[in-house]
A = this chain, B = another copy of it.
Amino acid sequence: MGKMRSVSVIGVGLSKFGERWDASFRQLVAEAGVRAISDSQIDGKDIQAVYGGCMASGRFIGQEHIGALIVDQLGLNPIPSTRLEAACASGSVAFRNAYLAIASGMHDVVAVGGVEKMTEVSVEDAATALGGAGDQEWELFIGATFPALYALIARRHMQEYGTTEEQMALCAVKNHDNGSKNPYAQYQNKITLETVMNSGVIASPLKLFDCSPITDGAAVTILCETEKAKKLVEQPIEIAASAQASDTLALAERKSLTELQATKIAAKQAFETANLKPKDIQVAEVHDCFTIAEILAVEDLGFFEKGKAGKAIEAGETKLNSAISINTSGGLKACGHPVGATGVKQVVEAVWQLRGQAEGRQVKNVERALTHNVGGSGATATVHIFKRA
């Protein structure tokens, strides 16, 4: 490994997340993109490349070549524009490669977007498209849906560690609490434990309110080499670490169902690179595609011992301004989960928290924030750590 240039975030923007019948794929990109460029105080012509994360536009809107579409829509031709895909981790993988493009010395200023327009197809077609995140030959073809895969994980976690359905449900309750304070969130309503427990069973033990929704949305960040960033904006947010790891596509091939190896490996690398420990993080956006996924995440990232997260959540230890504030944006559960956008949206929230701009959900004394994005059932995981430059 060689010496790398430091990279910082200088602008962020989100579209409103939700069922966006009023906006096309292109319009979502523009909505978030214009806000991010405006937030960065740079001119569009200063941007040297675009990276976009998108999972399944071919199935959702019949469109590939998303890099070209995004750069065209943002009026930024002829700079290079590239789409990355890693299922539900597409956004963070795009973010990571934009970071590398600057770290390499090729570019100084790069825009990274994540986008997904999911609500224009039927729920059945959406489930099929999302199934492409798992192993088509060995899982989907024989009938496993994504909730079914995570239900297997949940059952095993319950058996091994005594985790309860109520503890999982409390992740959703907390995330709706946080989402109620986020004007970009798909769901801004608080819910109770009873709401979750009484909701319909999707794949036992997971109920409707244990699952993240189908969402339209886009998120954009502007990255810049740090020394230049310091001249451009008041408070650049530095990428202290970027790590990514892989695991088997199919659950059946893994040694354990109760941890995601890819998360553990990426977290270890990220903490080493940043020379930090989990206790040094105040705010973390983690991948709660299902409530059980949040439990796995906070354990695998090292915030809680394996098997202890259920009780910690019950004790309120992941709420706003607790030991570690988890999913202040509302997470995938309440903010919504436009799959390709999620990894970038997590960065936007981390930046807002570090800048002190998270409004009603602002955590006190945030020095470092972490984002954690998972593809499929854990075949890809990324971890990024941020601090003020």
A interface residues (Cβ-Cβ under 8 A, vs B): 1-5, 24, 26, 50, 55-59, 61-69, 71-72, 76-87, 93, 96-97, 100-101, 103-108, 128-129, 131-137, 140, 225, 243-249, 261-262, 265, 375-376, 379-380
How many copies of this chain?
2
CA distance A246 to B77 in the complex (A): 6
Contact of A379 among B2, B55, B65, B376 (CB under 8 A): B65
Task: Determine whether the beta carbon of A81 is less than 8 Å from that of B1.
Answer: no
Given A65-B249, A249-B68, A86 contacting B85 (CB threshold 8 A): no
Can you name 28 A-B pairs with beta carbons within 8 Å? A1-B106, A2-B5, A2-B104, A55-B64, A56-B64, A57-B132, A58-B59, A61-B136, A62-B132, A64-B85, A64-B132, A65-B249, A65-B375, A65-B376, A67-B93, A68-B87, A68-B376, A68-B379, A69-B135, A69-B249, A72-B248, A77-B246, A78-B245, A78-B261, A82-B97, A82-B244, A97-B100, A104-B105
List B contacts of A140 (CB < 8 A): 62
* Min CB–CB distance A85 → chain B (angstroms): 5
* Min CB–CB distance A182 → chain B (angstroms): 28
List B contacts of A83 (CB < 8 A): 84-86
Task: Determine whether the beta carbon of A78 is less than 8 Å from that of B247.
Answer: yes
List B contacts of A55 (CB < 8 A): 64
Given A72-B379, A106-B103, A245-B79, A62 contacting B133 (CB threshold 8 A): no
List B contacts of A81 (CB < 8 A): 86, 246, 380
Top 9 A-B residue pairs of the complex, sorted by shortest distance between their CB atoms: A2-B105, A68-B379, A64-B132, A104-B104, A80-B244, A103-B104, A65-B87, A63-B136, A4-B105
* Min CB–CB distance A177 → chain B (angstroms): 32
Instruction: A59-B59, A64-B85, A68-B375 are known; give 14 further A-B pairs, CB within 8 A.
Output: A4-B105, A4-B106, A62-B128, A63-B132, A65-B87, A65-B379, A68-B86, A69-B249, A72-B248, A78-B245, A78-B246, A81-B246, A82-B97, A97-B101
Task: Determine whether the beta carbon of A66 is less than 8 Å from that of B85.
Answer: yes
Contact of A86 among B82, B101, B104 (CB under 8 A): B82
CA distance A56 to B86 in the complex (A): 13
List B contacts of A64 (CB < 8 A): 55-56, 85, 87, 129, 132-133
